[in-house]
Chain A
Amino acid sequence: EADIYQTPRYLVIGTGKKITLECSQTMGHDKMYWYQQDPGMELHLIHYSYGVNSTEKGDLSSESTVSRIRTEHFPLTLESARPSHTSQYLCASSEDRGRYTEAFFGQGTRLTVV
């Protein structure tokens, strides 16, 4: 059983609000990721981190920002939520095992901006 947790599971919030989606893992993994999953199910990598103080943008441009101050914690922040941000957000982590690297996923946060 993977030990990676996301909170909240569901969030409905009004336009213009600032939100932070939490992601924590207890496996000591250096690498962490945020994916956005659209209704068509496809996964889009929006942010990743190779370790503390490391953050990179992913393949899909996103207005969100991330931080990595502690190994176990990788929060995602939206300064001003908009309806276009409505989506499922999945956090993942992995060890550095080269081509054998497999990712462990949290249960996701379903965000609805009204």
Chain B
Amino acid sequence: GNSVTQMEGPVTLSEEAFLTINCTYTATGYPSLFWYVQYPGEGLQLLLKATKADDKGSNKGFEATYRKETTSFHLEKGSVQVSDSAVYFCAVNNAGNMLTFGGGTRLMVKP
């Protein structure tokens, strides 16, 4: 079956710092890759996605590139804000129609 491994958190950064959250996956076939974000007290929201190799998903200043050769989908942002403090989940979906989530990475941004 599919699996997703994310870097352990919490990740603590100062405002305007550069963010990387690592994500690697195991899946057969040609999966789609997703990043979801969960703000405090809320459900998950789709942040960005990529559906084929070398695609770059982007939204709200966040980016992630689908790297099939390294089976990775690392999340990056050039300058984080306090409002980016949340839990981030990487997910994979191949033709099985079921998302497989990583364990989540908590990001804390200090002013």
Q: A interface vs B, CB < 8 Å?
A: 2, 6, 31, 40-43, 45, 48, 90, 92, 94, 96-108
Contacts and interface: CB of A to CB of B under 8 A. Distances in A.
Nearest to A102: B46
Nearest to B96: A99
B28 to A, nearest CB: 11
B3 to A, nearest CB: 12
5 contacts: A2-B45, A42-B101, A96-B97, A97-B97, A101-B97
B34 interface: yes
A89 B36 CA distance: 17
Contact of B42 (A100, A102, A107): A107
B87 A41 contact: yes
Interface string B20-46: 000000000111101010100111111
Interface residues of B, number: 27
A49 to B, nearest CB: 12
Nearest to B92: A99
Contacts of B38: 41
A6 B42 CA distance: 11
A31 B41 CA distance: 24
A86 to B, nearest CB: 16
B94 interface: yes
B97 A42 contact: no
Nearest to B97: A101
Contacts of B51: 99-100
Contact of A43 (B32, B45, B89): B89
Interface in B30-69: 30-32, 34, 36, 38, 41-46, 49, 51
A114 to B, nearest CB: 20
Given A90-B44, A105-B43, A99 B94 contact: yes
Contacts of A106: 43
A84 to B, nearest CB: 21
B10 to A, nearest CB: 10
Contact of B103 (A41, A48, A92): A41
B4 to A, nearest CB: 11
